[in-house]
Structure formats: structure tokens, C-alpha cells
Amino acid sequence: MKKKTDSSFFTMITTFGGWGLLFIFLFSSQLNFAGNGEKSNTTAGINEKLGQKIALQSVLLDENGDQISMKQIINKPTVLMFVYYDCPSMCNPLMAEVASLIDRIDLAPAKDYQLVCLSIDETETSTIAAKKKQNILTAVQKQFPPDGWRFLTGDKENILKLTSSAGFSFKKEAGQIAHASALILVSPNGEITRYLMGTTFLPFDLKMAIIESSEGKVSPTVAKLLKFCFNYDPEGRKYVLNITRVAGGGILLIAIVLVIVLSVKPRKTEKS
């Protein structure tokens, strides 16, 4: 009798234990799924969308409080920055770095390229944007046209429309906004041509990125030569000398010179 009772008790424990484990597994799976879903919707970072167009239909406010669309702004190679003007961390170093680079690259702002900042905080106003623009441009020593660097604000819908089209995501937490730091290069037709990540950049890298984004417009001969000799390294996040292309070009040039010399020399011999 005792053996039968022990067997029944063991069976009951096993059954309830199995169901309990199954319940725990399903419950934890649901929690894990919900947690992952929530995380994916609020992760701050950049998903590069090279070759795609930004949302040119986005309507924003400039630093004067005037309404303007990105289609009206993007008419030349553009360095786009997603920031917020009261940011306590990366945004100010990023804008200060770009201001210092303006003096170190031999390209004319508002002519060869332009800069655009957009606040990702919908509560910031054009008054705040105008004040930030004044502070940043005082650091630029080169003569700088006011329309060479735009400081924009906007409502939540248009901000998200533009940031999403550029693969830029951010999230609000503890009264601040978590986000990545990058320069996004946009061509005159609104196409994303390059991402430069971080808050510090080499002047040459920025210059090359601007030259690349000028596709569709006639580039100076020097710019074409630079594009021929240098390639962008996505792993190192910088432009590197294309040894194979340069060497190949050098060999081809030497071969052409030799052919010319060998063809001209017999003629001189015949004349003599």
C-alpha cells in the first residue's frame, strides 16, 4: 500500500513539475519577446542607408522661425547633423569640431557645400536655434555666409520623418536624448552618400566626403584626381590611398611615355 502511494505521489509531482516548467518557459518567452520588441523600438543608433534619399518633403522651421522644406534647402552637397541644442554631451563637441574644420578645408561654404543641423528635440524653438547658431559661428574664422549653415527645428512628425529616412534613431531617457554622433553627407538631389561617425574628423576626410556628395555636378580637375587616388574604407571610417589604382595609373602613364619616345626616336634617326 505504501509503495502504491509513493508511486502516485511521484507521478503527481512529475506531472505538476512538467506543467510548471512548461508554464515558466512560455511565460519567460513572452517576457523575452516583449522585452526584445520594446528594445528594438527604442534603440539609439544609426542604420546606414547609403544611396537612399532623405525625406525631402519634411517641413521645418529655420533659425528665423520661417517655414522651409528640406527640398528647398538641399541644392548643393550638404553636411547634415542630427543634434539638439541643449545637449549636455556630444552635440556641442560635434558642432565645434565642424566649425574648426571649416577653416581647414579649401572649399567655399554656401558655394561648394552647406551645413544643416536639425534638433531632434521637438520642444526646442527657433529662438534657441538662432542663439546656438550665433555661438557656433563665432568660432569660425573664415568669412562665412549666414545661409551656409542652417539651424533647424520642427515638430515630432517631421523630425521622425527625416531621421527615419536617414537611418538615425534616438530615444528619450532621464530628461535627455540618447543618440549617436555622425555627419551625414547628402548629394544635391537628396541622396545619402556617406556617413562619418564620431565627433572628431580629419579635414581631408570631410573634404573627400563633400567632393563625393557633389556627384551630378561638374567637379574641379583636382577633385576628380583626389577621387581617383583615394577610396573610403568603411571599416577604418576614413579615406585611404588606393595603391592599386595609383600604381596602375603610373604604369599606364610610363607605358604611354615609352611608346611616344620610341616612336619619335626613329623619325629623328631617319632625318639625321
Cell of 146: 549666414
What pLDDT was estimated at residue 111?
92
In this structure, the answer to whether residues 255 and 204 fall within a common structural domain is no
User: Which amino acid does the sequence have at 203?
Assistant: P
Boundaries of domain holding 182: 59-218
Residues 131-152: what's their mean pLDDT? 91
Question: What average pLDDT does the segment 172-192 reach?
Answer: 92
Q: Which residue has the higher pLDDT, 222 or 61?
A: 61
CATH number, domain at 214?
3.40.30.10
82 backbone dihedrals φ, ψ, rounded to 5°? -95, 115
Same domain, 117 and 234: no
- In this prediction, what percent of the chain has a pLDDT beyond 90? 53
Shared domain for 127 and 209, answered yes or no, is yes
Same domain, 253 and 177: no
- Residues 135 and 183 occupy one common structural domain: yes
* Dihedral sign (CA 110, 62, 154, 149): positive
Predicted pLDDT of residue 43 = 80
178 membership: H or E segment, kind and range: strand 176-178
Measure Cα distances from 141 to 52, 130, 205, 220 in Å. 34, 19, 20, 25
Regarding whether 235 and 249 lie in a shared domain, the answer is: yes
Report pLDDT for 223. 41
Q: Are residues 135 and 64 in the same domain?
A: yes
Q: What is the dihedral of CA 249, 252, 258, 261, to 10 degrees?
A: -80
The answer to whether the pTM exceeds 0.85 is no
Q: Identify whether residues 232 and 102 lie together within a single domain.
A: no
Tens of pLDDT, residues 11-58: 444 444 444 443 433 333 333 333 333 333 458 899 999 999 999 999
Would the pLDDT of 205 be above 80?
A: yes
- Count of domains observed in the chain: 2
Strands 114-119 and 78-83: parallel
- 173 plus 233 within the same structural domain: no
Q: Are residues 113 and 229 in the same domain?
A: no
Give 77-118 pLDDT, tens digit per residue. 999 999 999 999 899 999 999 999 999 999 999 999 999 999
Fill in the amino acid letter for 211: I
